[in-house]
Amino acid sequence: MTEKPLTPIEIGLTAAVVAIEANEPRILVASGGQPGEPRAGLPFGPFDPLAHRTLELGLRGWVEEQTGLSLGYIEQLYSFGDRGRHALPGDTGAHIVSVGYLALTRITDVAQQPQARGAAFEPWYRYFPWEDWRKERPPMLETDILPALNDWARHSDEPSLTRALSRRERVRLYFGSEMRAVRATMADKAEIDPVSLNLFLRNRFTPSPYTIIKGIRKLAPGTKLTVQDGTCEVSRWYRFKPVPFAPTKSPDEAREELLELYKAAIRRQLISDVPVGLLLSGGLDSGLLLALMNLNGSSWPTYTVGYGSSFADDELADAAETARILGAKHSSITITKSIFEEALPHIVASLEEPIAASSIVPMYFVCQRARQDVKVALVGQGPDELFGGYKRHLGVRYGALWARLPAWVRGPISSGVAALPRNEMLKRGVQSLAITDRMRRYQNVLSLLPGSQVAGLFQDGLLDPASGDSIPEGWEELGELMTETDELGGLQFLEVRSTLPDELLMYADKLSMAHGLELRVPYVDKEIVEYVERLPANLKVRNGSRKWLHRQVCRAFLPDPILRRPKRGFAVNVVDDWFRGTFDGKMPETVLDSGSKIYQYLRPAPVQELFKQHASGRQDNHKVLFSLVLFEHWLRAHEEPVAQMV
């Protein structure tokens, strides 16, 4: 038997060394090696297994030889080894695998400057002018890059052994870490997807894998996209299935184990070579974070935002008192209703998709203030979803008691609840308990309005009637991972994989990074989430007390006055009060003006009826009204046309 000769492989090592100077990005370029030679580009060299013990050491050696710069921390960025990516037919040379590394460095003193002749930090945009969006969309995208790509795609090669996708198929697939980069490459003007708009109006955000733009999808947490042999497939790689502890954890045992998980997570999250602070709301969650941070240091900088002492639910004083008790260096910022309204359009423009949480404005301002002192901040998001901190969790926790009541008892109670003014959350809860399908029941619990009512807001013919009450794509595959969870645990399983990442964590990330602030969320560390998801409901909501187990941990670190404070969360309730009141100011103009852009998609009459019901006190529609206001601002910032129903 004749053995087939093996193809030789060569590994090429490339370094992208980036620095910031005078607020301008710069890239390290290596010397050509000889006097008068042009620069060779990025530092590069082949891996020599006889001379280099590891790929990284080989890369460091080439960078130092070509630039004279000794690298600090570097991270492997990519590896490209596709067959056919460099070789021509008949080429018998070595197959090249390219391995790229990224390093971020400072160039503030001579020791951090390239020492080799000809090597230098050059302006980033000199080499990558198509990435310079500081003033406008780079003109060369239209004049050079897109025409060249289209011409290249027209002369398309067929899929082959060395190239699984044709050229046209390859340019049809765009991907990026942000949606704006994908939108910039689209040949046609982006359009609003009515199905996604329907989901946004039900949830205040667009759940993965949908986006508000037709033709663009986002990967849901724990999923991956595989492009192979001319096909694209999305699959779930993170498939943790919570199975209850056997035997069941005792309260004391669970409390001690949870505390150790908290401590370990916070130790990890505090690792940083730049200053670290904390966004302090004045409640339990961020207060416990501060207390546990004190096990690893002291006098941590903390930041909070509020609307002033004239509001009963303002927490500036509470946060300041927590900081005093726990020895933090505290700073606060006060914003007014007029500042809120004036800042809202700018803040919405910085969001890639509309997210109608009223806390986006205080989050924006508290991150802006924190960034003046620190580059990393911890935030206390997560315990509400994990332990049952919202009112909806009470209904789900005790829903079985309602189901056991005879129909002749449930009927009159349901009718009485439906007749109550406002109390929309209670009404939705009672309606949800009557739904037998688990996923549909959870969807109704999480929705602002019933699907049929949201569908009735749309212009005729724009929304497929079948999509008005459909279960979000991606939830179905989660069902098989929830079979061992109780009723409350099932809802929380969905929240941690949908509402938390797609709403709260999404806007926190976008608005913090708008100021160059990195937010870290210790409570949603993988080890904590997987532990809590195996706990029974009676350790989360117990005798009507929400977040019961989490509170038991808090008792060892926080005094009673902090433990007894009502839930607020960056003055969200203050903002909600503005909508429960007279609804005056700039925001109602959006709903009352029939020329608003939202009416390209929605009918004015049913939308304005929502406002009338709210203003009269018959219904509490402030959340959906704020969603409409925010969507109008988003449309004005992005000017997207509507996609017609096919």
CATH top-level class for 251-389+508-580?
A: alpha beta
Q: Residue 350 — pLDDT band, cuts 50, 70, 90? A: confident
Q: Residue 642 — pLDDT band, cuts 50, 70, 90? A: very low
Instruction: State how far the Cα of 417 lies from the Cα of 439, in Å rounded to an integer.
Output: 24
- What's the pLDDT score for residue 257? 98
3-state class of 605 per DSSP? helix
Q: Where are the domains of the chain?
A: 9-127, 251-389+508-580, 391-494
Q: The whole model's pTM is what?
A: 0.78
Which range has the worst mean pLDDT, 184-198, 355-369, 457-471, 541-555? 457-471
> Which residues are registered as beta bridge partners of 8?
none
Residue 59 scores a pLDDT above 70: yes
Query: Span 615-643, mean pLDDT?
Result: 79
The pair of three-digit structure tokens given for residue 255, joined into one six-digit string = 């409390």
Residue 169 half-sphere exposure, CB side, CA atoms within 13 Å? Answer: 13
Which range has the worst mean pLDDT, 221-235, 572-586, 629-643? 572-586
Instruction: State how far the Cα of 49 lies from the Cα of 463, in Å rounded to an integer.
Output: 61
Residue 405 scores a pLDDT above 70: no
Phi, psi of 51 (to 5 degrees): -105, -25
- What's the pLDDT score for residue 395? 84
pLDDT: which is higher, 581 or 357: 357
Phi, psi of 89 (to 5 degrees): -55, 135
Residues 67, 45: contact at Cβ < 8 Å? Answer: no
The predicted-structure confidence for 275-295, as pLDDT tens digits, reads as follows 999 999 888 999 999 999 999
Q: Which CATH superfamily is domain 9-127 in?
A: Nucleoside Triphosphate Pyrophosphohydrolase (3.90.79.10)
Q: Residue 644 — pLDDT band, cuts 50, 70, 90? A: very low
Residue 241 scores a pLDDT above 90: yes
Residue 309 scores a pLDDT above 80: no
Kindly give the residue spans of alpha helices, DSSP state H, lying in 372-457: 383-387, 391-397, 399-403, 407-419, 424-433, 438-446, 451-455
- Give the sign of the dihedral formed by CA 301, CA 305, CA 308, CA 314: negative
- What's the pLDDT score for residue 252? 97
Which range has the worst mean pLDDT, 381-385, 560-564, 614-618? 614-618
Instruction: State how far the Cα of 603 lies from the Cα of 201, in Å rounded to an integer.
Output: 14
Please report where in the chains the tokens 């908290």 appear, as a residue: 262
- What's the pLDDT score for residue 156? 62
**Residues 6 or more apart in contact with residue 603 via CB below 8 angstroms:** 457, 458, 459, 460
**How far is the CA of 66 from the CAs of 98, 118, 213, in angstroms?**
18, 9, 46
Are the folds of 9-127 and 251-389+508-580 the same?
A: no
